[in-house]
Structure 1
């Protein structure tokens, strides 16, 4: 099931420019039954497994608002889209749906980050704003292990 995250503008919300075409927007999706998690970071201006990239992501309230934020790419969905999990700098110690990633070059302020393993997004290559960093293999493997335990997904 796909849910469009195109930023429809409520009357009280300020206008926000959207640069990606409608068919290239980031979508929040239900976790699929089968998904292959892969680690293959490569600086090539395309989202690759293990990279943290920036894209437009809706707020949790799903009211049409959102913002550009970092997401962790966990694998390719097809030739033009990748699966990703959103990151946040809001502390979530003890919250089982979040894993601590620590700090990294994806955040210029070097704030600790958490990855939300319950919200999955489909990021179109054209909807990616920029590559921010590659997560090191050890931290990626921790995320992959949590996703495998939760959803039964395979690792590639």
Structure 2
């Protein structure tokens, strides 16, 4: 995954930009496993979108995120994946490897940072995560933020 500077990368700019959400103040959230391989992001699916760096300085990169919930306004809540090892770090849930990483590397999900994603702000649907691994992430989010 390399940093992109292309202004046409979905999720980077404008009203469909991927942004950081305040997970404790997003209102009622119900994580629900409902993948449907239809090209639209659904809870339980890993999709690719522009993710701003935590410094919020305009930089970021195109990366996979796990969609965990749909908001009433039609936006989605997601958590980013990383292939960087985070063994023993409670902020990161290990989910193993899958087709979202062409190199077959193991991945971790960052439950400390929740992103708001727009359907028009994603580049592509990668795959559905199996229910067991999705539930591991959902349970950690519920524990951390009080979501159901």
**Matched residues in 2 for 1:64 and 1:79: separation?**
25
Structure-2 residue corresponding to 1:48: 42
**Matched residues in 2 for 1:36 and 1:51: separation?**
15
Question: Retained in 1: the 8 A contact 2:4–2:60?
Answer: no
Give ranges in structure 2 of 5+ residues lacking alignment. none
Structure-2 residue corresponding to 1:26: 18
Bigger CA radius of gyration: 1
Give the aligned CA root-mean-square deviation in angstroms. Answer: 1.7
**Matched residues in 2 for 1:92 and 1:65: separation?**
23
From 56, 60, 64, the equivalent of 2:54 is 60
Partner SS for 2:35:
coil
Partner SS for 1:96:
coil
Query: Which has the higher mean CA deviation after the structures are superposed, 25-34 or 112-121?
Result: 25-34
Structure-1 residue corresponding to 2:99: 105
Question: Retained in 1: the 8 A contact 2:34–2:43?
Answer: yes
TM-score (normalised: structure 1): 0.85
Pairing of 1:52-131 with structure 2 (within 5 A): 52-78=46-72, 80-131=74-125
Give ranges in structure 1 of 5+ residues lacking alignment. 1-12
